Amino acid sequence: MLPRIGLAIIFVLLFLPLSAEEILLEENISETDTISYTVHEIAKTDIENWIKKNRIDTRESVFSTAPIHLDLGDLYHNCYFYLGRTNLPMPERNGFETFSGIFSPALYHGSFNTLYPVKKYQRTVNYTNRTYPFAPVLTSVDAGLGDYDHHYARINFVKNELFSYSELEYQGDLLAQNGFWSDITSAETAMKHRLSRKGKLFNWEAEYASWKKDIAMNDLLPFYWQLTNFKIDYELQQIYAELGIPWVKLKFLQESETASAREFYETYKRKSTRVQISSEQKFGFGQYQTLYEHNWNKDDKYFCGFYDEEEYEDKLALAFKIDNPLEIDLSGDWLDWKRGRLFADIAYSLQNFEAGVTYKQLLGKDPSSLKGKDIFNSSGELELIDISIPREVSVQFSYNLWNIKPLIAVGSKEIKQKADSTWFNLEKQQPFMRLAMDANFTWKNWQLIARPEWVISKYYQNLTESPEYRFQSVQQIKYHLPYDNSVVAGCGIYGHSGYYIANAVNPSLIEASTILDVWAGFDISNYFELRAGIKNALSSAIYGAYSVPTSLYVQVLWLYLN
């Protein structure tokens, strides 16, 4: 192992910049477009502009900020309750991939989206923090109540110049919610404490986050689903630290996950400790990043690699990006010195027209045992339907007219599905078409914001987890009034055609379904908004679960600057 680790460190060091002076320019780069302010330069309008730019609308789809050509899967939500499918890519947290044994990626997307407002998109979704660059304390309270005992409160507290130290920032988050969700009475408590400081020679960050919640059976991978729904007590804790110096960035993540249920024969446990070293360098109109990561995994006996999920000890990665005017985004990973992943996203813009290509490929994927550890029986194994997409390619075209950007993408996926039963064994090229639009159109005092997305795929009867079509669309219309006031109304539509779940013992049919949410409300200045609406107006199930019966709700967002 030592020679391999040494090779990885040399790999990173070879790409380190030759002088600290060039790297110090990175202090002017921020993915949240924040600016370095001193306490004497702060104006209220600066803070209000920051609030406008960084405010997140919880009624929008979770991936509403993603590039329109990326298909990141299906995830439905009601405030901070989430429900999704296993076609979601496993998310990242501050550049660390999420490992899982028995749970669907939807569980982690929902948890991270609750506390981390910034998302970076490439092969998957990387959840991280934004920097609040002002000394005055900004407090936000997002609270609501609805039918079926649904009520919640999320409080966020941010302050820079803590204890009068320049660039010393604290962020605190707390969420408490309960109510009927996914056919159970659910409850959740989540919190985050983050302390960071940016300096001229180095930056540092320390953070603790935890989630404790009641979840339903549908948050498990589908081959763990039973005929009767049940409740699971779930807890996830993360300790994260980061140190950035002119030549390199060091990261640390310790993670602990537990779950218990009356139906489990033992408490599920998973632990990991990870260290990552990386270097990022800009050059002219582009940048590159090199990375090495080592993991110490414990209690990983339930890992199965379903839907190309990964678990590894060593990872080498290289990413390359240019933007002028040809946009090229390339990345590659080499895992455990024997298998890899490639991702390429290339686009060219000519005035309002844009064309692009997206390509993904797996190299040397480990063969599945087609058996999964049984969480319900100490001596049992569950038959696994293993689904893999070794290669996917698509070509997309879009045109921007008056801030209305329609897109069409066509492509093909190489799908391999394996199981002990010959009925489920197949290898197919699955063509698909994706239709989407990103609209932010303004006319006089009216503003239309819409993000409809449709994916249509060739249907194979014995291919599980693959509906012929799936869709989601969230749209709002605002009428702007003087003094930053506005009236707003909107609706959200989510749905899919029928498909079979990847459960070899009980391959249940998930019937076609559509969910409709509607709401209306008003905004008062930049600091207060009120919404009232109807959730699940059609009283439908979705993704194999009944989210919530038709219900009324009221939601308030209040920001206080002190």
Delimit the domains of the chain by residue range: 60-561
Token digits of residue 45: 């309008």
pLDDT exceeds cutoff 70 at 395: yes
Of the candidate CATH numbers 3.30.950.10, 2.40.170.20, 3.50.50.60, 2.40.50.70, the domain formed by 60-561 belongs to 2.40.170.20
**Residue 38 pLDDT level (bands cut at 50, 70, 90):** very low
**pLDDT for the residue 550:** 95
CA distances in angstroms from 302 to 30, 100, 111, 221, 224, listed in the order given: 38, 8, 21, 11, 11
Mean pLDDT of all residues in 349-367: 89
Mean pLDDT of all residues in 359-387: 85
pLDDT exceeds cutoff 50 at 19: no
CA separation for the pair 54, 118 (Å, rounded): 9
Contacts of 189 (CB under 8 A, 6+ apart): 175, 176, 211, 212, 213
CA distances in angstroms from 3 to 7, 9, 10, 291, 337, listed in the order given: 6, 10, 10, 17, 12
Burial 474-487 (b: 16+ CB within 10 A, else e): bbbbbeeeeeeebe
Minimal CA–CA distance to 450: which of 488, 485, 490?
A: 490
Q: Is 556 helix (H, G, I), strand (E, B) or coil?
A: strand
Q: What angle do CA 123, 128, 134 make, to 5 degrees?
A: 145
505-538 pLDDT, tens per residue? Answer: 888 899 999 999 999 999 999 899 999 999 999 9
pLDDT exceeds cutoff 50 at 477: yes
Alpha helices in 455-539 (DSSP H): none
Mean pLDDT of all residues in 370-390: 88
Lowest-pLDDT choice from 88-92, 349-353, 377-381: 377-381
103-158 pLDDT, tens per residue? Answer: 999 999 999 999 998 888 988 999 999 999 999 999 999 999 999 999 999 999 99
- Sequential DSSP letters for 18-58: S-HHHHGGGGG--TT------TTT--HHHHHHHHHHH---T
Average pLDDT along the chain: 89
CA distances in angstroms from 26 to 201, 246, 286, 309, 331, listed in the order given: 11, 9, 13, 33, 21
Q: What angle do CA 262, 265, 267 make, to 5 degrees?
A: 80
Q: Indicate the pairing of strand 381-383 with strand 371-373.
A: antiparallel
Mean pLDDT of all residues in 96-109: 92
Distance of CA 60 to the CA centre of its chain: 14
- Name the more confident of 501 and 56: 501
Mean pLDDT of all residues in 188-198: 96
CA distances in angstroms from 503 to 82, 103, 465, 510, listed in the order given: 22, 14, 10, 12
**Residue 21 pLDDT level (bands cut at 50, 70, 90):** very low
CA separation for the pair 423, 473 (Å, rounded): 35
**Residue 378 pLDDT level (bands cut at 50, 70, 90):** confident
**pLDDT for the residue 41:** 57
**pLDDT for the residue 254:** 97
Q: What angle do CA 144, 146, 148 make, to 5 degrees?
A: 135
Minimal CA–CA distance to 360: which of 378, 372, 344, 340?
A: 344
Residue owning tokens 């039918």:
147
- Name the more confident of 58 and 429: 429
Minimal CA–CA distance to 104: which of 80, 82, 79?
A: 82
CA end-to-end span of the chain, whole Å? Answer: 53
- Name the more confident of 378 and 217: 217
pLDDT exceeds cutoff 90 at 54: no
Phi, psi of 523 (to 5 degrees): -115, 140
**pLDDT for the residue 329:** 94
